Amino acid sequence: MKVHLKQIPSEGKHIEGESENDFLHLDTAEPIKPVGSVRYALDVGLSDGGLFATGSVGVEFELACVKCLEPFTYPIRIEDFACQVELTGSEMVDLTPLVREDILLALPAHPHCDWSGEKTCRHALRQRRPEFEESSEHSEVWGALDQLKIKKTN
């Protein structure tokens, strides 16, 4: 996402499009894979010796659930992307590293496949137990303890 400074009018410019996701440089050993291209819609402008950009960026990832290890799709959409880059004399400013940083920071540290509420994780289904429910197993185990007669000592 490179911006040519000479193409930005004094009132600023709106740029939008898609960029290949290869600039994310994710380790292929990790269960994190970008799916599709990175979409962006940015308003750029010049002010006080710097370039500013505000807008939104987004990309979809395939992640592995930390509980059941099943892959699922997780969209990253940063609606409030903002950056300021100091101008160094070059005619072009590359926003790619700044976009990459915001996207990677938005990835969940512990992804769960039930993030959207549209499905229930298989692992969570296996782990559910009714709390405080008296069962026959409960009465057998605790029944013996309830019949214990404990002597009080003074």
Q: Identify the CA nearest to 55 among candidates 107, 106, 104, 102.
A: 102
Question: Which residue bears the tokens 């291209």?
Answer: 37
Q: 113: Cβ–Cβ under 8 A, 6 or more apart, which residues?
A: 65, 67, 68, 70, 72, 119, 121
Does residue 148 carry a pLDDT above 80? no
Which helix H or strand E contains 97, and what residues bound it?
helix 96-106
Domain boundaries, the chain: 2-127
pLDDT digits (tens, 9 = 90+) for 8-60: 888 889 999 988 877 877 765 567 888 888 899 999 998 888 899 999 999 99
Which is more confident, 63 or 132?
A: 63
Cα–Cα dist 14/33, whole Å: 29
Cβ(38)–Cβ(57) below 8 Å: yes
Amino acid code (one letter) for 80: D
Note the pTM of the prediction, 2 decimals: 0.70
pLDDT tens track for 100-142: 899 889 988 888 888 777 778 877 655 555 544 455 555 666 6
Residue with tokens 């269960």: 31
At residue 42, the pLDDT reads 93
Taking a C-beta distance cutoff of 8 angstroms, is the pair 59, 103 a contact? yes
Asked if 21 and 62 count as a contact pair (C-beta separation under 8 A), the reply is no
For the cut 70, the answer to whether the pLDDT of residue 154 exceeds it is no
**Residue 81 confidence (pLDDT):** 93
- With a CB cutoff of 8 Å and minimum separation 6, the contacts of 1 are 19, 40, 42, 94, 95, 96, 99
